[in-house]
Amino acid sequence: MNRQEKQAAVREAINKVPLISSAAARLLELSGESEHGIVDIVNIVKYDAVLTSQILKVVNSAAFARRTEVYSIDHAVSLLGEDMVVGIAMSEAAALLFDKKLEGYAAEAGSLWRHDLKTAIAAKIIAGYARTKVNGDLAFTCGLLHDLGKGVLSDFLRNTPEKIRRAMEEKKVPDYAAAERAILGIDHAEAGYELSLNWNLPAPLPQAIRFHHQPALIDEALKPLLYTIHLADIVAMMSGVGTGSDDLQYTLDTAYEMYIPLSGNELAMVMLGVEQEFSKAAAVFLGKEEEASE
């Protein structure tokens, strides 16, 4: 297959990814609205039986160590908080992509989920340091979705990690996304963008996915959000939670400092906070990972 044919095949695969549930789509949309609360979340969740049972399962799991059983969805959602509910909804809605073994990136099953979850947590924390206000819930959601395109691209990148590693060593390509474009005519950010359009995700989610490695290219108004995601992605990789062969094979655009003025000390604090939040979240999602590895 030449590059044009490969690109067409990738597009076909993107179009074949099943739509996400309307509850998941509505939750993603809600995270971008400035005024929203737990009541709005409950109102979406309670009409989706699968999601409701999943949330009750998580809240009653060992990770939460509650002495009494939680039966009401209102109570469960308020105990879990918005981020966890969005996380549960997305991990179900896009399980096909999140849980698969990323052979094209030489990564284990579940790596994409862990990396996206860690980026989401980092993005929410970093959002708190942005010079112009960045919606933390929106930052979390963008983090959760930013690399979904890899779930599609992976199948088309089998046997390429070694080739890409050499090309990067010889400085033939500036970063991993450029290598993806050279091989397939499309990179994982563009693939994720097209997927998010198919899913009818509202702005700015598609744009955030598309430019997470090139934040300088987005409209000025979205730069604070984009640099938040961009930095969070690198923080997740630096902490050892990447997706395999492309780990840290991207350039950090240091212009983030204009939008997120973090001192070295503060960045260290952010990384510490991310570790703590991530280990809590990972414990909650552990049941899911164990199920996946069975």
User: Measured from the CB atom, is 32 or 215 closer to Fe ion?
Assistant: 215
Enumerate residues 94-133 that contact Fe ion by CB under 5 A. none
User: Measured from the CB atom, is 137 or 147 closer to Fe ion?
Assistant: 147
Question: Between the CA of residue 150 and those of 142, 184, 233, 283, what are the distances in Å?
Answer: 15, 12, 14, 24
Question: Between the CA of residue 209 and those of 110, 205, 226, 230, what are the distances in Å?
Answer: 20, 6, 9, 10
User: Measured from the CB atom, is 211 or 259 closer to Fe ion?
Assistant: 211
Q: Min. distance of Cβ 173 from Fe ion in angstroms?
A: 15
Stretch in the footprint of Fe ion (CB under 5 A) among 14-22, 48-56, 140-148, 259-267: 140-148
Q: Which amino acid is at 158?
A: R
Q: From the CB of residue 244, how many other CB atoms can be counted at a distance below 10 Å? A: 19
Stretch in the footprint of Fe ion (CB under 5 A) among 55-63, 68-76, 146-154, 167-175: 146-154
Which of 83, 92, 147, 180 binds Fe ion (CB under 5 A)? It is: 147
Stretch in the footprint of Fe ion (CB under 5 A) among 127-135, 147-155, 202-210, 279-287: 147-155
The string over 47-77, giving b where at least 16 C-beta atoms fall within 10 Å of a residue's C-beta and e elsewhere, is ebeebbebbbebbebebeeeeeebeebeebb
- 180 belongs to the binding site for Fe ion (CB under 5 A): no
User: Measured from the CB atom, is 135 or 243 closer to Fe ion?
Assistant: 243
Q: Min. distance of Cβ 43 from Fe ion in angstroms?
A: 32
Q: Min. distance of Cβ 256 from Fe ion in angstroms?
A: 15
Q: Min. distance of Cβ 89 from Fe ion in angstroms?
A: 20
Q: Min. distance of Cβ 199 from Fe ion in angstroms?
A: 18
Stretch in the footprint of Fe ion (CB under 5 A) among 24-32, 40-48, 142-150, 266-274: 142-150
User: Measured from the CB atom, is 82 or 233 closer to Fe ion?
Assistant: 233
Q: How many residues touch Fe ion (CB under 5 A)? A: 2
Enumerate residues 209-238 that contact Fe ion by CB under 5 A. 233
User: Measured from the CB atom, is 82 or 147 closer to Fe ion?
Assistant: 147
Q: Which residues bind Fe ion (CB under 5 A)?
A: 147, 233
